[in-house]
Amino acid sequence: MLRFLLLTSLAALVLAVPQPRYLEHNTAEERVVGGEVARPNSWPWQISLQYKSGSSFYHTCGGTLVKAGWVMTAAHCVDRTMTWRVVLGDHNINTNEGREQYMSVSQVYVHPNWNSNNVAAGYDIALLRLSTNAVLNNYVQLASLPPSGQVLPHNNNCYITGWGRTQTGGNLSTQLKQAYLPVVAHSTCSQYDWWGSTVKNTMVCAGGGSDSGCQGDSGGPLNCSVNGQWVVHGVTSFVSSSGCNTYKKPTVFTRVSAYTSWMNSIMG
């Protein structure tokens, strides 16, 4: 589920924004349907993005390890100046299980066209340069990314993952969760009684049925099964203000394959 919600100028959309845990005044209903606790470290590219408040760090968004020194997340997670860190290899965010790697963020690259006042325009993607490279092992691995321009078919199997809230007004899930969200084709998702023109072809829709889940944090991955391999096709961007599982309002993700050239220009 999205960590914190902020009603944007587009009344239909809600975003996750970093703020201290005790500021839990939400402007929209939150609903979580479906999902289960993931097997520990079964999504080894999933990271926890945390911000510093006082002397402590707090989880606020998800993200994906795409190179040893680089993390992909949502622009709306990091479009303000804060002290960030990334935790890799985590499962229970309240416990140090000995597998975690804690990395400071040396630089934040928000897509230059991102506009927090116009979420529906897209470009909700950012790259974080880590201060040191991750050590790859059984618990920390790089995500596979799709080839440029690839669009998945309707009903392609995907999972959203994250440490989002487990109930309205409740706490974060301490353990990483996963929820099954099949792809909704753009031709369907952009119909007037679905998301309409709000959804651009640089986005991916997934879920949207009465029994779909919305367990993942904003900025986290949409993990899709392609030819027997898990490939990160989306970055969690926004949901309906009516709730994650609103009929015909699937969760919307930034389509990773639409930003391949931009990402390559930043990461080299």
DSSP class of residue 259? Answer: S
Whole-number percent of the chain with pLDDT over 90 = 66
Give Cβ neighbours of residue 183 (< 8 Å, ≥ 6 apart): 152, 153, 154, 155, 156, 158, 204, 205, 206, 224, 233
pLDDT at 258 over 90: yes
pLDDT band at 214; cut points 50, 70, 90: low
Exposure of 144 by Cβ count < 10 A (0-12 exposed, 13-18 middle, 19+ buried)? middle
Q: Topology of domain 143-257, per CATH?
A: Thrombin, subunit H (2.40.10)
Active site annotation includes 124: yes
* 107-134 average pLDDT score: 96
> Which one of the listed residues 48, 190, 212, 218 is annotated catalytic?
218
Partners of 205 in beta bridges: 184, 252
User: How does pLDDT run across 2-49, given as a tens digit for each residue?
Assistant: 333 333 323 345 554 433 322 222 222 223 345 788 888 999 999 999
**pLDDT the model gives residue 246:** 77
* 227-232 average pLDDT score: 97
**pLDDT the model gives residue 217:** 72
In this structure, are residues 240 and 252 in contact, taking their beta carbons and an 8 Å threshold?
no
Which residue, among 127, 125, 128, has the nearest Cα to 104 in the 3D structure? 128
In this structure, are residues 204 and 183 in contact, taking their beta carbons and an 8 Å threshold?
yes
> Which one of the listed residues 48, 59, 124, 257 is annotated catalytic?
124
- Is there a common fold for 46-141 and 143-257? yes
* 111-133 average pLDDT score: 96
The residue ranges of every structural domain in the chain are 46-141, 143-257
Helix or strand (DSSP H, E) at 7: strand 6-7
> Which one of the listed residues 48, 59, 76, 111 is annotated catalytic?
76
Structure tokens at 34: 């479906």
CATH code assigned to 46-141:
2.40.10.10
In this structure, are residues 6 and 220 in contact, taking their beta carbons and an 8 Å threshold?
no
**Rounded to an integer, what distance in angstroms lies between the CA atom of residue 74 and that of residue 192?**
26
Active site annotation includes 154: no
Amino acid sitting at position 150: Q
As a whole number, the mean pLDDT across the chain is: 84
User: How does pLDDT run across 127-185, given as a tens digit for each residue?
Assistant: 999 999 999 999 999 999 999 999 999 999 999 999 876 554 556 788 998 888 999 99
**pLDDT the model gives residue 268:** 86
Active site annotation includes 217: no
pLDDT at 265 over 90: yes
